Amino acid sequence: MKIDWLIIGAGFTGSVLAERIASQLGQKVLLVEQRHHIAGNCYDYYNEQGILVHQYGPHIFHTNAQYVWDYLAQFTPWRSYYHQVLGSLDGKLVPIPFNLNSLYALFPPRYAEQLAQKLIETYGFNVKVPILKIRESAKSQDLEFLANYIYEKVFHGYTLKQWDLKPEELNASVTARVPIYISRDDRYFQDKFQGLPQYGYTNLFRSLLNNHNIKMLLNTRYQEVIEEIQYNKLIFTGPIDEFFEHMYGNLPYRSLDFKFIHTEQEQHQPVGTINYPNEYTYTRTTEFKHLTGQRTYGSTYIEEYPQPYRHGENIPYYPIPKEEYRALSQKYQKEAEKLQGRVLFAGRLADYQYYNMDQAVARALNLFEKEILSSP
């Protein structure tokens, strides 16, 4: 087989690049995916009960980049959706990220009012203030108490379950991102554009890849076919350490396991996702009908269990945010630079960097514009 581009991986990064090359350059692309389906971790399907479920955990699209939103809108209509998350704290369900409504849900009214006033007076209204900043700069016992409370009740336990590491073992940037949102806004995201593909992510990908210049090989490891294919250039979106045969060792990841549960209840929980920082061994539960807007009998939800990544046994989801692992990934990036553009690396696994979906799309669009269009 002779083609212009060989692309490894049919998630957002590989699929967007395939679409751009096929539609804008008119060149032939072969997309190779080791799983039995397109759409990567965004893959969704209708289960036996007719409910649209996300195979690899909840995916809510959100972005402030209109060009990303508009690009995908060529391939799907959007269903507007604002995700809400509650956290189980001290026997109560309170909004996450922690905000002013969370104060009133947890504390006596007068004390909640006192805390709210001090937060607003100190930091302003409608702003997100990292817990770390409050812990380090709090000039009142009340704010110091609040910062420590949120750190212990919301962040500490969740971090142990999610990463199997104590917060202090992770990069300081992780703690720095945990905010108090001084607002009454209960939405989990505040991006300008939020929603889900009207007919699901898999349908979006089918439309994205519906081009006569794009061929696909599913359920195929690239190592099985790469010697048999004649191609001009390669784009690799898989684990970069795998490409270089782990010459510097394995890059570590955290993985996930999901337990799907169907109930005859019309609604299992009041919002899309509930976090459990301190109870149970799972981190959160998500009920899909909240996300999709379906009206069907019964409901399906998942419990999400973090676990170690075991090469060849489960899926690498999250690069682990530790400095030593970032340094290891940079060794592989230097090896990639030696290939002088003959192979392009992009995506969460190839960059060893966690991307939201919009960031993965933006990474692919920018790579196409800046490197592929400008290359000879």
Long-range contacts of 218-223 (CB under 8 A, 24+ apart): 218/10, 218/33, 218/35, 218/36, 218/37, 218/38, 219/33, 219/34, 219/35, 219/36, 220/32, 220/33, 220/34, 221/34, 222/6, 222/8, 222/32, 222/34
User: Do the Cβ atoms of 9 and 238 come closer than 8 Å?
Assistant: yes
CA gap 193, 357 in Å, rounded? 13
CA gap 155, 180 in Å, rounded? 11
Domain locations in the chain? 2-38+209-251+319-372, 96-182
User: Do the Cβ atoms of 259 and 252 come closer than 8 Å?
Assistant: no
User: Could you tell me which CATH number the domain at 2-38+209-251+319-372 has?
Assistant: 3.40.50.720
User: In the chain, what is the straight-line distance between the N-terminal and C-terminal CA atoms, in Å?
Assistant: 23
pLDDT tens-digit profile, the chain (376 residues): 789 999 999 999 999 999 999 999 999 999 999 999 999 999 999 999 999 999 999 999 999 999 999 999 999 999 999 999 999 999 999 999 999 999 999 999 999 999 999 999 999 999 999 888 888 887 889 999 999 999 999 999 999 999 999 888 888 777 666 789 999 999 999 999 999 999 999 999 999 999 999 999 999 999 999 999 999 999 999 999 999 999 999 999 999 999 999 999 999 999 999 999 999 999 999 999 999 999 999 999 999 999 999 988 999 999 998 999 999 999 999 999 999 878 999 999 999 999 999 999 999 999 999 999 987 6
Phi/psi for 370 (5° steps) reads: -90, -30
Residue with tokens 């379950």: 161
Q: What is the DSSP pairing of strand 2-8 with strand 230-236?
A: parallel
Radius of gyration of the chain (CA): 22
CA gap 178, 174 in Å, rounded? 7
pTM, two decimal places: 0.96
CA gap 345, 351 in Å, rounded? 7
Angle at which helices 357-367 and 66-73 cross, to 10°: 90
